[in-house]
Structure 1
Amino acid sequence: MSLAFIELYNPKPSWSALSRSAQEEFMKAVTGHVEGAVAAGVEILAFGTNEASTSRRSPYEYFCVYRLPHADLAREFENLIQASGWYDYFEQTNLCGKSVGVAEHFHSHISR
């Protein structure tokens, strides 16, 4: 069973208050954390910016999409994000759930 893990986030004023060099240093550290997560089994599917022309656009500017092999790694990944200090600088919401096929996905809407 694999899980999809999606991060949606916006910078906080505390991020803008950092100097450019402090932002670069922080992102260098975060990149190291992400590389460690990849080594542990997290698969990066996409990083991106939410396009202004998106229909019914979410209010979040940035997104990251990952695939994880199991729930334990998802919890470890969440803890890693917390420990990195990320939430000090970015307001974020997460989505995480079992990856399923189209039929199972839409059937779950009916069977509730």
Structure 2
Amino acid sequence: MNWIDIGTPEDIPLRGARVVKTRLGCVAVFRPAADEVYALADRCPHKGGPLSEGIVHGRAVTCPLHNWVFSLETGAAQGADAGQVETYPLRIEGGRLLLDGAKLALRGAA
């Protein structure tokens, strides 16, 4: 895998998100709890809303445009909504957040 250093967990606000801009698109990195981080594509499949601007609750985020709710763990829409957001592996190593660049490259190749 090709891991990309994107900062520290503390760079992400608790129960919030930050956007990581790459050549292959934007990734929203969420921190629902002090020791948890998740990375998803930053576009809701419904209307393209920026998920990084949504409300983080539990292990989910609500799209700011039309209130679709997505699991931070799986990217799946919850409830009656149908849809999926791409997820990206993250790991913490030496206090740094590392994002899987290989999976991003696959997204760009599609």
Q: State the TM bucket, normalised to the shorter chain.
A: under 0.3
Greater RCO structure (CA 8 Å; 6+ sep) = 1
In proportion to residue count, which structure has more strand? 2
TM-score (norm 2): 0.26
